[in-house]
Structure 1
Amino acid sequence: MKTRFLNCCCVALVLFTSCTTGKLYQSTVSGSSINQLDYLQPVSNIIYVEKGNKGVINDTLSLKSELFIESVLKDQSKELSIPLDYKVKTIASDDRAFIEEEMTAMVEFLEDGRADFYFLELSDMMLDFMHDNETEYLLGTVVYGHVRRKGNYTGQIFKSIGIGILTLGMYYPIPIKSSSRIYFLILDAKNKNLAFYRRSYIQDKSPFDEEVVKKQIYQLFKGYFYE
């Protein structure tokens, strides 16, 4: 699972070129009908780029990101009147591993076209997990991001300039300094599907910048819980 995340994030360093908030996907369940939204600890994978333009997933930064995103989300839920309620904890390591795999798999299937939002059904294991925890609506959060070692970005800029000179300006690769990509999924136990799905990507901004993450959360739920 960690390797799969790494591959996705490395592609993102090359392909994404702007700040975007994806299309809002929702079922027949409106935001106003959700009075209690329980939530899971975010699933986060942060790549640390130390040398060149290739990085590896850093477990310490990933855990830091999970706690950071959760903290900002809780604060924003009060400010934006998002009905965030009880944190469903995964005590057993097997449960945590299952949640990570389930959340990331749904995101990957939706993003690469292997699944259609309107026909995606929750797995029996996920439904059992929700029923065991007596939760009808459950918010899942998946985070991808990358940061660089201090000085790495400057070095890559100079390298890019050198390549531009050698190719007479025909090729001028511009490295992405950092990135923050957040996916929100609301799982619906009653209807056995997703009630909500949306993504946000911001380039050249740190995934640990509070104002950046606040902006992403606001944009993600806009049009669902508020206008």
Structure 2
Amino acid sequence: MKRFILKTILILFVVLLFQNCATGNKYLSSETSISDVSNLDYFEPYSYIQLIKKGNKAQLNDSLSIETKNKLDSIITFNKNLYKIKKKLNINDALVNKKIENELSSLIQTAIQKRKLKGIKLTPVIDSVLESKNQRFALGIVATGFGRRKGNYTGQSAKAVAVGVLTLGLFAPIPIKSNLSLYSIIVDSEKNEITFYKNTLPVEKSPDDPNVIKKQLDKLFQGYLTQKNKGQ
């Protein structure tokens, strides 16, 4: 399972890089009107946060992932009126939860790769869960990013300067301290499709900082679930 999760993270990062260059981080939407997206529930958010302990080698970190996930969940709940969200979809079956997690990641990857939502059908478990709860629309959010062990960033910064000196400035890798990206989709069980997809650009901030998470959520929904702020 961890191998699958690591593969998921790698794919998300790679396709995100190409997508951002091509689309400028615009959201994708179906032909369903925004005004029709009502009574919106949300799935438990998922988080894959890596920790860099030594050098620049990152490993998926359970505690940092859980902390980011819990804060993300709490912020969504606290701001549900702002984001026009009704409630959280609680799934008590651990196996079903894991299947939903895998299917959400798969749908997000497909949306990124295709760069359009038309033709992407809902996966079976998500579809059946929504139908069983008589719920048409549901929001799914996945967080990815990484943090560094205390002291690691300073050491990597010094190495970057040394490499720059040795190569006469032709090559000087700049280490990133930490970052966070959010991926979001809204699924429609009635039409068996994805209604909305967007991701945020990676922000070089701590992935478990509540202020950072809130700002990333705001960016996700500006112009769709919420009005875009003036000047943006």
Give the TM-score normalised by the residue count of structure 1.
0.89
* Number of the residue aligned with 2:7: 4
Distance 1:8 1:93, change over 3 A: same
Residues 59 and 198 (structure 1), Cα distance of their counterparts in 2 relative to 1, 3 Å cut? same
Matched, 1:53 2:53: no
Residue of structure 1 equivalent to 2:92: 91
Asked whether the 8 Å contact 1:176–1:203 carries over to 2, the reply is no
Distance in structure 2 (CA, Å) of the matches to 1:35 and 1:200: 23
Cα separation, 2, equivalents of 1:225 and 1:10? 25
100 and 51 in structure 1: CA distance in 2 versus 1, 3 angstrom threshold: same
Aligned partners of 2:62, 2:86: CA distance in 1, in Å? 27
Are 2:181 and 2:200, in contact at CA under 8 Å, matched by a contact in 1?
Answer: yes
Matches within 5 A, 1:69-88: 69-78=72-81, 80=82, 82-88=83-89
Q: SS in structure 2 opposite 1:118?
A: coil
Q: Deviations over 1:70-110 (max 9, x none)?
A: 111222233x2x22112112211211110111011111222
* Structure 1, 57-66 or 190-199: larger mean CA deviation: 57-66
**Percentage of matched positions with identical amino acids:** 31
2-structure distance, mates of 1:120, 1:91: 27
1:179–1:205 contact (8 Å) kept in structure 2: yes
Aligned residue-pair number:
223
Correspondent of 2:30 among 12, 27, 32: 27
SS state at 1:170 partner:
coil
| Alpha-carbon separation, structure 2, partners of 1:21 and 1:139 | 22
The CA RMSD over aligned residues, in Å, is 2.5
Contact 2:48 2:60 in 1 (8 A): yes
Which one-letter code corresponds to 2:55 in the other structure? G
Query: Can you list the C-alpha shifts for 1:125-183, whole angstroms capped at 9, x where unaligned?
Result: 32111111221100001110100000101110000001001101000000111111001
2:194 corresponds in structure 1 to 194
Query: What 5-or-longer segments of structure 2 have no aligned partner?
Result: 228-232
